[in-house]
């Protein structure tokens, strides 16, 4: 977003870090969802015989589906509760470490500040080199191909 650079105060480097971490979080979410799905499908695959017997005795498909969903909902709820608790605990611990680190680090010593200074120096050097090249050397004259070809040379009349 256009105003986010000012919020971080680092010229956009903080937004890049946030976007990268968001990408990692999305990948972790996809992996977790895949894991929960695989455990659920394995559980259903193990119980297919049970479901067949229940259907043979007279259970309705809706009743069998209710059995599957009840068990899998408990599994997913347990996974969500434990995952949320672990995430909150780790987040608090990491933010405490980050706060302690930023309080002890001198101001302006972040890695993105160094990178920004390097980029500014490189840009200034490139601009000065470009200016020196344009002043000291002129580009070669552009002669059309037909004039460079020996068959079409202009002959002196004298």
Q: What is the pLDDT of residues 72-117, one digit of tens each?
A: 888 888 888 998 888 888 888 888 777 776 655 555 555 556 667 7
**The predicted structure's pLDDT at residue 60:** 92
Q: Tell me the mean pLDDT in the region 19-35.
A: 89
- Plot region of 13 (φ>0 → left; ψ -120 to 50 → alpha; else → beta): alpha
Q: H/E element holding 72? A: helix 61-104
pTM score:
0.46
User: Torsions phi, psi of 60, nearest 5?
Assistant: -85, 155
CA distance 131 to 123: 12
pLDDT score of 5 more than 60: no
User: Are 65 and 94 spatial neighbours (Cβ–Cβ below 8 Å)?
Assistant: no
- Pick from 108, 92, 89: nearest CA to 100: 92
């Amino acid at each position: 977003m256009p105003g986010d650079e000012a919020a971080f105060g680092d010229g956009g480097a903080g937004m890049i870090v946030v976007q990268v971490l968001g990408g990692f979080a999305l990948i972790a979410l996809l992996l977790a969802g895949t894991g929960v799905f695989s455990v659920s499908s394995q559980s259903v695959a193990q119980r297919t015989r049970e479901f067949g017997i229940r259907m043979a005795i007279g259970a309705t498909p809706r009743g069998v589906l209710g059995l599957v969903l009840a068990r899998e909902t408990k599994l997913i709820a347990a996974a969500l509760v434990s995952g949320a608790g672990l995430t909150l605990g780790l987040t608090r611990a990491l933010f405490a470490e980050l706060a302690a680190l930023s309080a002890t680090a001198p101001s302006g010593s972040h890695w993105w500040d160094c990178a920004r200074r390097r980029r500014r120096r490189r840009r200034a050097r490139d601009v000065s080199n470009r200016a020196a090249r344009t002043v000291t050397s002129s580009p070669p004259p552009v002669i059309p191909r037909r004039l460079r070809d020996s068959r079409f040379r202009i002959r002196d009349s004298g």
